[in-house]
A and B are shown apart, each in its own frame.
Chain A
């Protein structure tokens, strides 16, 4: 059974760096899946942050690209998100997800998700 679990601080000060990790169990992080980050401000819709492959190949939302870095740590079976220079607008529930696959085809939509972690940006 695939499980994803976000971890990291729930409170970050403005102008500082948000760092989250997604632990993956039940599946190899080195498979063919995309590893995805999505966020959702309280009471609002979903925003795709970006995705990364186990090789390190990644693509980010241009609206965040100057501040976002994703990485994969195969030895720990986890992938990470860092977002620099945060403001109150970055307050959101952050979800990690695994891209869906079916019959050997890999998709960029999220098939398995973590429970989400609320990150509040406030002094």
Chain B
């Protein structure tokens, strides 16, 4: 299985801050990488697909990028509604594995 190593596991930030979350794939996954936001008791919500494409309706403060097997989710100008847990998922090679998650908390 492809391992997705996500970091950090948690991060504290303030409204207006810029936050970066990283996922590293254990082998090449091309750009088949998605980012999700999940709030307590809710289903994941797709933010980014194909590494850098913003899903329709997702605010432009969210962005994704790829450098080789390293993938980054950046949130620029944190809003209160962004405090949640974020997961990456590779869909290049079955089984389609998730990162362990990053909990974004209010400082």
Could you tell me which A residues sit within 8 Å of B by CB distance? 38, 45-48, 51, 59-63, 95, 97, 100, 102, 107-111, 113-116
Contacts and interface: CB of A to CB of B under 8 A. Distances in A.
A107 B91 contact: yes
Contact of B98 (A48, A51, A60, A100): A48
What is the interface of chain A mostly: helix, strand, loop, or mixed? strand
Interface string B96-107: 111111000000
What is the interface of chain B mostly: helix, strand, loop, or mixed? loop
B95 A48 contact: yes
Contacts of B1: 62
Contacts of A60: 95
Given A45-B87, A102-B49, A110 B95 contact: no
A89 to B, nearest CB: 17
Contact of A107 (B44, B49, B87, B101): B49
Nearest to A96: B43
Contact of B49 (A63, A100, A113): A100
B98 A46 contact: yes
B91 A109 contact: yes
Contact of A48 (B42, B45, B89): B89
22 contacts: A38-B44, A45-B87, A45-B98, A45-B100, A46-B87, A46-B98, A47-B98, A48-B89, A48-B95, A61-B94, A95-B44, A102-B49, A108-B32, A108-B96, A109-B49, A110-B36, A110-B44, A111-B46, A111-B55, A113-B43, A113-B45, A114-B43
